[in-house]
Amino acid sequence: MRRASLDEELAAELRRDHTKAHVNESDRAMLAFAVKLTTGAYKIARQDLEELRATGFDDVGILQITLIAAWFNYINRVADALGVGQEEL
């Protein structure tokens, strides 16, 4: 995040607790959705999509959030399985 935005304080806030970070309503909804997708995608319901829409995301935006979060989840699992970044595997 810090590399993308060059905002060290925001990056630190997000690392500590994304729910308390100083972000706008649409970013907060996007982060909550990405966390829910990561921790329990099967729990995503119509209400989650409606919350994103209520903060300004359209279907294309929701698709982009979903694809990006899912891709990072996928690539992190691949890296973990192959021991990328681990010295002893």
pLDDT tens, residue by residue, 11-42: 888 888 888 888 999 999 999 999 999 999 99
Q: Is the pLDDT of residue 5 over 70?
A: no
Q: Is the pLDDT of residue 1 over 50?
A: no
What three-state secondary structure class fits 12? helix
Considering the segment(s) 24-81 as one domain, its CATH architecture is: Up-down Bundle (1.20)
The conformational region for residue 38 under phi > 0 = left, psi -120 to 50 = alpha, else beta, is alpha
Enter the pTM of the model.
0.81
Q: How far apart are CA 51 and CA 42, in angstroms?
A: 17
The predicted structure's pLDDT at residue 8: 85
- pLDDT one-digit tens code per residue, 31-84: 999 999 999 999 999 999 999 999 999 999 999 999 999 999 999 999 999 999
CA neighbor of 30 nearest in space, from 3, 72, 64, 71? 64
